[in-house]
Amino acid sequence: MSTDGPSQGANSAPSGGSAAAKPQAWGDHASNDGPPRGANSAPAGGSAAAKPQARGNDASAGPMPTPRSYLDDGFSLWSWFSSVDHKRIAILYAVSITLFFFTGGVAATLIRLELITPAGDFVSAETYNKLFTMHGVIMVWFFLIPSIPSTFGNFLVPLMIGARDLAFPKLNLLSWYLYIAGGLFTVGALIAGGVDTGWTFYTPFSTMFSNTHVIAAVTGVFVVGFSSILTGLNFIVTIHKMRAPGMTWFRLPLFIWAMYATSIIFVLATPVLAITLFLLAIERFAGVGVFDPALGGDPLLFQHLFWFYSHPAVYVMILPAMGVASEIITCYARKDIFAYRSMAFAVLAIAIIGFLVWGHHMFVSGQSIYAGMVFSILTFLVAIPSAIKVFNWTATLYKGSIHFDAPMLYLLGFVGLFTIGGMTGLFLASLALDVHLHDTYFVIAHFHYIMVGGSVMAFLGAVHFWWPKITGRMYSDRWARFAAIIVFVGFNLTFFPQFLLGYLGMPRRYHEYPPEFQVLNVLSSAGASVLAVGYLLPLFYLFWSLKYGPRAGSNPWRATGLEWQTPSPPPVENFAAIPVVTAPPYQYSAMEIAPQPPRSRSAPAPRERGEGPGEGIPGKDAV
Amino acid sequence: MWDFPLHPPTDSSLATRVDHLFYAWLAVSGIVTIAVFFLIVYFAMKYRHGSRAARDLPPGAKLRRESHRIEIAWIVTPLVIFLGMGFWAAGLYYAHAAPPADATEVYAVGKQWMWKLEHTGGQREIDELHVPAGRPVKLIMTSQDVIHSFFMPVFRIKQDVLPGRYTILWFTADKPGDYHVFCTQYCGTDHARMIGRVVVMQPAAFQRWLTRGNATQSMAEEGAARFRQYGCSGCHGASASVHAPKLEGLFGRRVQLSDGSSVVADERYIHDSVMLPRKDVVAGYEPIMPSFQGEIAEEDLLDIIAYIKSLRDATPGEIR
Amino acid sequence: MIAHPVATLRSYVLVWVALIGLLLITLGSAYVPLGPMNSAVNLAIAAIKALLVAFFFMHLRSAHYMLRIAAAAGFLWLAILIGLSLTDFAVRY
Amino acid sequence: MTQAVIVARQFDDAEQQRKASDLGMWVFLATEVLFFGGLFTAYIATRLHDPQAFAIASRLTNVTLGSINTGVLLTSSLMMALAVRATKLGSGRAALGFLCATAVLGVAFLGIKFTEYVLDYHDHLVPILDFSHPGPHAGGVENFFYLYFFMTGLHSIHMIVGIVVVTVLAVMTARRRFTPDYFTPVELGGLYWHLVDIVWIFLYPLLYLVSRT
């Protein structure tokens, strides 16, 4: 493997052997009606040519030992807390959002325990209200919104587009500190006694009536909003200005398109939330304000401003998941994505139309019925690009060569659960039906199908897919597949009964409930315990893999993205030389059709396409 | 244990129509979801790695043409179906929003954490609403503190109840029964206890209930008492020396305001005139009325509104 | 050395003169009774002033189209926020 | 090309770095537009709720000082634009002068604004601290002034940030940190200043000129 040109020096994985698989998709496979052309036998020259570098950089000084990986670039805590390397910042985020995820999860566990019996016998009403508020605030702003963008987005955006870092690395570090500062305010509010407004902070309850630490919690959310804005700004500029040569817009991986769409929402929606919460805090502090009906203000104004942010924020949670799905499904189906362009336009369409539909949260709020009708129709429009995405993922499987590794299981689960979540969203977009279902458990079930069944499944899929790249280690695929199935089963058991509860009329945020709802609530709580096991399992085998996992090659899944062309874990500078891109992404079909013979070859020739490890489960024997 | 309901009770034609919409959506979404699940499982099995399924795709140009057709088909078809369903739902929503003129009025005040209801006859109820079957009933609702929401699953309707505003909800119950009322807008500590019953009675039984009820006097009479208690009559009464607008025959009339605009004197106008007297000042009068914000409970104000309503056909001088 | 093109001093001063002129017009028009048109005129003049500043002082006139899109996006999204919330506020009050 | 430009490690060259900074600034300005946009929406909703109150309240603002301040701010924008131009042309002395003029005009704006606040306070027009308004529409008038102080206050905070930025730029200019090839900080500072100016261009008619007839 050491015969690669200098530009590929980075690619020699520590383990050598078959693990250092080299993808060719970046070679010119534009036409697949014939034997693959030269690119296939000259991965280094064809797909990644050294780009003249602006400044001297010893990485390009010729063949050299494996460049220092980003993980080895300093071991002190300070070397992490002061790092402006996008990959290290991604790890900082990953650790912090995991902590917040389990904090929010503890609140959810207590909620489900309380709801096992109709009577409010486990925690008091005040405690229950604080629990669901903390669950909502933490899960929405400190887990779901930053989850994929801040971890995988940070890690992968520069790698996928062939850049050395994000455009503004210091801003990136600042945004992590803002996230932590916001988190401290919120955790402070939690320790000081909690907040009981619900994550929606509706006025006038939050301004004039709640006796809890609303201002501290709101400040936390305000601050974390700026973290989102800076991340979005960084991604937009990076994707526009830092793409590798040849990386045209329609050669971008769909994950990048998803990040771009997400960033648009970050940048254009979050400031409205910030100013709204600012108004809320002042109004609570001073007792005067435009949301207070006592002076002729309007509480619905708050709801309009809040949902102008918070509805697009839902798409912040799901768009990155869609990006992950496009990466993973193509890779394990070994097939090009179906209708790449419409997939790219669909994420943009979702991001933009997503801004036009916020009023569907307010059909029974007392807004004008004309507003209701306008928002209802617009909401149906946003269903179309979402439906396109689901259909295209399904079509991608057609005539593929499907492997069932853990990431694929998570993402197939994602497609199914997102479909259910999306379709039930249409129930809620229907005006008259929403009048019945609004603020019942039907809504709870619907958005958990989108956010947990969708975003969290995709997040876990992404963890398993890019884990070898991020850590350089393989985990136990057997355990991972087991966990994926547990999560899928536990999730459905938890949330499907809630659809029934909602249709029966059980309102959300209820500490106690009429006894006829008990059976379904018990089912839901039982499911939650299964789900909890599913979420805890990865902690064990993933941590285990950090120490004992076999080393992963640079490309254990034989994937096509640029991120797989650099060693695992990637070097500090990402690429020994900036790659030159010559073909669209996801050319798996060409990769599958062409080299049937090499498939069984045990010792790939130098400069020959490296073969994924043995049959079926790529990465298995990446020693 | 397993005899729990899977379907909420239904007691109005509107609820049945909402159910039809629900089942239509269930069918549409069920077909889509099952199709997606079936295809995923089918493809996953047929095209699993190592299977012998044929994998030859048509050549590039043809593939693109075909996939364009498929794309257009699955953009247009769902769009047409979804929009059709959407208009169906919008029509029903419109019916929700338009109460018939002859509906029996009941006034509701939400406060942390109870519902106070009052019939025009003066019968007061807390967390219970008695209504006759077969007759449209219109709830005129407001809140004394935070936003609440009045939800009756049996009729498939709910409406947020806001401070400083009146919102309405109407239904016609089909048959007698006893059903849940929930508050569905989170309103603080005992939100989950802000529940009640709606009791639908045969009209005759309802009439008996009304007469047997706790009403000593009608809402309007009660309102007249409050009108004096809060000192309104001191200025608006016949013998008042203060120059204040006369309230006889006011309700439903268009009122000229001092700034040149005009408004119809409805519940909201009277409410605002009492609570925010400086917002709309009647032309030709000084803005001297004090605000009763925080002085007067919403349910008392509803009595007063009922009283002023009862003076719809009165002639000036009738107020004492 | 790349020469970064600059506009003439004169053009900047002319834009400033136009801005001050528009300020005086908007102030004057506010005292002419036009009914609801007063606000419309004032806002239209404000929009013209903002465009002058954006195009000349902020160099959007010669900027890359991407910068113009970024600049327009902020105002477009604000229009969405205001426009769609007016479906409620304009009808309900 | 001179070597004066320091290119950060993630960029290929100065050109890429400059374009990235430009785009970043404009994206940031878009977020600022929506940050103030939330307030404008609140203004519109509240005004539609009680238009008479806004007409009455707007007459209570000090239109003379407000108009003078608008002129001051527009002039400061001209100075800023000329500072950017001078930097691009490489005339550091002129740039320094224009930057100082910008900062001075900015301080003058804040001074006039503060004077207005004091006058408003004497007129009992400051909600929360001291507000009383006789006559009808008192609630709506109070809401107007609440928004007036919120919007102009937030704008003033942006002005303070802008003055600090311009001062730093002036110091850097005095130290000859900028060349015709490297002027990005001045350009970006200028964009920020102009945006704050644009916000005021809209605040002025909405707060001072609602109903003067």
Phi, psi of D41 (to 5 degrees): -65, -45
* B226 sits in which H/E element: helix B219-229
Question: In one letter, which amino acid is A121?
Answer: D
Instruction: List the single residue in A209, A423, A430 with the smallest CB-CB distance to B86.
Output: A430
Are the Cβ atoms of A368 and C91 closer than 8 angstroms? yes
How far apart CA A540 and CA A204 sit, in angstroms, is 45
| Sheet strands side by side (includes B148-152) | B128-132, B196-201, B177-183, B148-152, B157-161
User: CB neighbours (10 Å) of residue A532?
Assistant: 20
Q: ipTM of this model?
A: 0.89
Alpha-carbon distance C92 to nearest alpha carbon in chain A (angstroms): 6
How far apart CA A5 and CA B127 sit, in angstroms, is 81
Alpha-carbon distance D37 to nearest alpha carbon in chain A (angstroms): 7
Alpha-carbon distance D145 to nearest alpha carbon in chain C (angstroms): 18
**C83: closest chain A residue by CA:** A356
Q: With an 8 Å Cβ cutoff, is C17 touching chain D? A: no
Relative to beta strand B128-132, strand B124-126 is unpaired
CATH class of A77-471+473-548: mainly alpha
How far apart CA A165 and CA A86 sit, in angstroms, is 6
D-chain CB neighbours of B281 within 8 Å are 136
Q: With an 8 Å Cβ cutoff, is D191 touching chain A? A: no
Instruction: List the single residue in B43, B145, B191 with the smallest CB-CB distance to A397.
Output: B43
Instruction: List the single residue in A205, A399, A505 with the smallest CB-CB distance to B188.
Output: A205
CA distances from D118 to D109, D130, D139 (A): 14, 12, 22
Alpha-carbon distance A448 to nearest alpha carbon in chain D (angstroms): 29
Mean pLDDT, range C13-18, rounded to an integer? 96
C55 with C44, same domain: the answer is: yes
C69 with C55, same domain: the answer is: no
Identify the segments of chain A with pLDDT beneath 70: 1-66, 593-623
Question: In one letter, which amino acid is A37?
Answer: R
DSSP letter at A291?
T
Ordered DSSP codes for A414-430: HHHHHHHHHHHHHHHHS
Mean pLDDT, range D155-179, rounded to an integer? 95
Structure tokens at B94: 């419109």
Are the Cβ atoms of C91 and A355 closer than 8 angstroms? no
**pLDDT tens sequence across A400-439:** 999 999 999 999 999 999 999 999 999 999 999 999 999 9
Mutate to test the interface with C, among D50, D74, D84, D184 (most CBs of C within 10 A): D74
* B278 sits in which H/E element: none
**D54: closest chain B residue by CA:** B279
Residue of B173, B122, B135 lying closest to B152 (CA atoms): B173
Q: With an 8 Å Cβ cutoff, is D211 touching chain B? A: no
Identify the segments of chain B with pLDDT beneath 50: none
D-chain CB neighbours of A59 within 8 Å are none
C41 with C1, same domain: the answer is: yes
- Listed by start position, the domains of chain A span 1-30+42-50+551-623, 77-471+473-548
C16 with C53, same domain: the answer is: yes
- Crossing angle of the two packed helices A299-333 and C65-92, in degrees rounded to 10: 130
In C53-92, the residues whose Cβ lies within 8 Å of chain D are 53-54, 56-58, 63-64, 66-67, 70-71, 73-75, 77-78, 81-82, 85-86, 89-90
Query: In chain D, what are the domains?
Result: 22-208 (1.20.120.80)
**D66: closest chain C residue by CA:** C27
DSSP letter at A194?
-
How far apart CA A90 and CA A155 sit, in angstroms, is 5
| Vertex B47 angle, CA B41 and B52, to 5° | 140
Are the Cβ atoms of D34 and C77 closer than 8 angstroms? yes
How far apart CA A409 and CA A430 sit, in angstroms, is 32
Q: Which pLDDT score, from 0 to 100, does residue A54 have?
A: 38
Chain pair B-D, CB pairs under 8 angstroms: 21
Mutate to test the interface with C, among A235, A241, A304, A305 (most CBs of C within 10 A): A304
Alpha-carbon distance A289 to nearest alpha carbon in chain D (angstroms): 6
Q: Which pLDDT score, from 0 to 100, does residue A2 have?
A: 37
**A303: closest chain C residue by CA:** C85
Chain pair A-C, CB pairs under 8 angstroms: 41
Q: With an 8 Å Cβ cutoff, is D4 touching chain C? A: no
How far apart CA D37 and CA A275 sit, in angstroms, is 9
Q: With an 8 Å Cβ cutoff, is B233 touching chain A? A: no
In B142-201, the residues whose Cβ lies within 8 Å of chain A are 145-147, 149, 151, 153, 156-160, 162-165, 167, 180, 182-193, 195
> Residue B172 pairs with which residues in a beta bridge?
B136
Q: Which pLDDT score, from 0 to 100, does residue A7 have?
A: 37
How far apart CA C51 and CA D188 sit, in angstroms, is 18
Q: With an 8 Å Cβ cutoff, is B61 touching chain A? A: no
Q: Which pLDDT score, from 0 to 100, does residue D166 have?
A: 97
Are the Cβ atoms of D180 and C53 closer than 8 angstroms? no
State the residue range of the domain holding C79: 64-93
C72 with C57, same domain: the answer is: no
Higher pLDDT, C32 or D112: D112
In A177-216, the residues whose Cβ lies within 8 Å of chain B are 196-198, 200, 202, 204-205, 208-210
C70 with C32, same domain: the answer is: no
Q: With an 8 Å Cβ cutoff, is A297 touching chain C? A: no
Q: Which pLDDT score, from 0 to 100, does residue A596 have?
A: 45
Q: With an 8 Å Cβ cutoff, is D24 touching chain C? A: no
Residues near B89 by beta carbon (within 8 Å), at least 6 away in sequence: A376, A430, A431, A432, A433, A434, B21
* A232 sits in which H/E element: helix A214-241
D-chain CB neighbours of B280 within 8 Å are 136
How far apart CA B140 and CA D20 sit, in angstroms, is 58
Are the Cβ atoms of D10 and A295 closer than 8 angstroms? no
* Alpha helix stretches (DSSP H) within A355-476: 369-397, 406-429, 431-437, 441-448, 457-471
**pLDDT tens sequence across D91-138:** 989 999 999 999 999 999 999 999 999 999 999 899 888 888 877 778
Residue of B135, B169, B168, B143 lying closest to B155 (CA atoms): B169
Residue of B194, B175, B162 lying closest to B133 (CA atoms): B175
The count of structural domains within chain C is 2
Residue of C87, C81, B160 lying closest to A203 (CA atoms): B160
Q: Are A575 and A10 in contact (CB under 8 A)?
A: yes
Ordered DSSP codes for B59-96: PHHHHHHHHHHHHHHHHHHHHHHHHHHHHHHHHHHHHH
C58 with C74, same domain: the answer is: no
